[in-house]
Amino acid sequence: MAQARNILTSLPQDAHLSVSTSPTTTFHSPPSSFGGARRPVPKQLKPFNTQDIKILLLENVNQSGKDILTKQGYQVEALKSSLPEDQLIEKIRDVHVIGIRSKTKLNQKVLSEAKNLLVIGCFCIGTNQVDLEYAAQHGIAVFNSPFANSRSVAELVIAEIITLARQLGDRSNEMHKGTWNKVSHKCWEIRGKTLGIIGYGHIGSQLSVLAEAMGMSVIYYDVVSLMALGTSRQVPTLDSLLREADFVTLHVPELPETKNMISAAQLAQMKDGSYLINASRGTVVDIPALINAMRSGKIAGAALDVYPAEPRANGDYFNNSLNSWEEELRSLNNIILTPHIGGSTEEAQRAIGIEVGDALVRYINQGITLGSVNMPEINLRSLTLEEPDYARIIYVHQNVPGVLRKVNEILGNHNVDKQISDSRGNLAYLMADVSDVRTSDLKEIYDSLEALSSRVLTRVLY
């Protein structure tokens, strides 16, 4: 277990955490021109104690991540599923850190209740479930794992391409029901067929290499111009990809621009008897339009791993009538339906647990934002907290003129060993290591920084 002394912070803290003699530590939230209310202000500084840090992990975060966090001495509560919004709000009020996967929606309503929250760990690739902008403006850093499950998704898609081409799902279902149905009609090899990849990022490009190794031709469409791997080829428009590909697979993020990216008009562009695979986000494919295209025989098969609404926990899904099209979808032939398992392998989950767990520890203990998806990336070499009278000041502030001058006036009477600052949009992040400071100096520094109108969040680690 990590030492309870030395890595220290002026956390936004609740009465329970406070060592104040007053049991009613109060916060004030004066209005700010910067995204609404300011975050609560603790009444006092206190030395950081890892055991004060409360962490809530949802959605069955891998043991590797839990181990990293518990080893630090943090209080970790881990739940297997996501939570309904009202329960999430109750829980999030109390914690300094929350770890989620793709299901938990951390929208403005939920985050506005997260009075103590310092940091969010998305133990997955996608961060569409978090209001990143709102979090940034309230000094809440967000981390994810940008590619630790890419290979797992790419391998799943390869399996699905062959499964669809050979109608393996249907043959297997028939055998389970006792029917021997040996057919070759409309069953194909994938060698020589064209795979069309929409979104040539981490997953799309990995898939490109695997598909070529099996003799497929690969074309891809992306909003940015990207280097082609192997003999793959970028095509200029979505329509040109849809017209040319035998298999179309989606690997784009959930964005307003990707909502219903594949709908009736796009399906009509696709080759007769082609296949569609979606392991990106459920909003990207218009499912009723896909059902029509499959019923008409235009689309010969499909694989869906993601859905517009997904349940919080394992159990009944299709019996919950979340969507009007469920019955029809299930009744189609040659359609593979999987419960969002693209990234669900032992390898991926373990790697994600370590990557995000480490990022959280670095941020909590040292304020390092490397890899953050919503904050400027800031790093200074390790804290030398063994030295007496040494502290790290972190000041998250609005990116407006004149702030650095004021901050340096405040720090100016002390020995600033190192300092770094960067901005991202209208948010800036300053980190300064100061030596020869006493606790009383820190209190003064802290109060002065807090008093600046540009302040979003101040942390003092000592």
Ligand X SMILES: NC(=O)C1=CN([C@@H]2O[C@H](COP(=O)(O)OP(=O)(O)OC[C@H]3O[C@@H](n4cnc5c(N)ncnc54)[C@H](O)[C@@H]3O)[C@@H](O)[C@H]2O)C=CC1
Residues near ligand HPV, by CB under 6 A: 101-103, 124-126, 149, 340, 343-344
Q: Which two tokens stand for residue 54?
A: 């409360």
Q: Which two tokens stand for residue 252?
A: 């784009």
Q: Which is nearer to ligand HPV, 11 or 122 (CB)?
A: 122
> What DSSP letter does each residue of 77-89 carry, written as one string?
EE-SS---HHHHH
Binding-site partner at residue 101 among ligand HPV, ligand X, none, CB < 5 to 8 Å by type = ligand HPV
Residue 85 annotated in active site: no
Q: Which is nearer to ligand HPV, 315 or 412 (CB)?
A: 315
Give, as ranges, the residues between 293 and 332 that touch ligand X (CB under 6 A). Answer: 305-306
Write down the least CB distance from residue 201 to ligand HPV, Å.
12
Q: Under a CB-based contact definition with an 8 Å cutoff, are residues 63 and 28 in contact?
A: no
Q: How far apart are the C-alpha atoms of 317 and 323, rounded to whole Å?
A: 10
Instruction: Enumerate the H helices of 257-322 as residue ranges.
Output: 264-269, 287-295
Q: Under a CB-based contact definition with an 8 Å cutoff, are residues 72 and 2 in contact?
A: yes
Considering the candidates 174, 212, 310, 450, report the single residue annotated as catalytic.
Answer: 310
Q: Which is nearer to ligand HPV, 60 or 453 (CB)?
A: 60
Write down the least CB distance from residue 279 to ligand HPV, Å.
8
Q: Which is nearer to ligand X, 338 or 439 (CB)?
A: 338
Residue 435, number of CB atoms within 10 A of its CB? 15
Report strand pairing: 335-337 vs 427-435: unpaired
Does 371 interact with ligand X (rule: CB under 6 A)?
no
Write down the least CB distance from residue 261 to ligand X, Å.
6
DSSP 8-state class, residue 126: -
Considering the candidates 281, 397, 414, 455, report the single residue annotated as catalytic.
Answer: 281
Instruction: Enumerate the H helices of 367-419 as residue ranges.
Output: 403-411
Does 281 interact with ligand X (rule: CB under 6 A)?
yes
Binding-site partner at residue 7 among ligand X, ligand HPV, none, CB < 5 to 8 Å by type = none
How far is CA 197 from each of CA 17, 194, 220, 298, 416, rounded to the nearest angstrom? Answer: 50, 10, 5, 19, 51
Binding-site partner at residue 305 among ligand HPV, ligand X, none, CB < 5 to 8 Å by type = ligand X
Binding-site partner at residue 451 among ligand X, ligand HPV, none, CB < 5 to 8 Å by type = none
Residue 281 annotated in active site: yes
Q: Under a CB-based contact definition with an 8 Å cutoff, are residues 233 and 241 in contact?
A: no
Q: Which is nearer to ligand X, 42 or 196 (CB)?
A: 196
Considering the candidates 39, 166, 340, 414, report the single residue annotated as catalytic.
Answer: 340
The closest of 258, 302, 265 to 284, measured between CA atoms, is: 258
Return residues touching ligand X (CB under 6 A). Answer: 125-126, 147, 149-150, 153, 198-204, 221-224, 251-255, 257-258, 279-281, 305-306, 340, 342-343
**Residues carrying an active site annotation:** 281, 310, 340
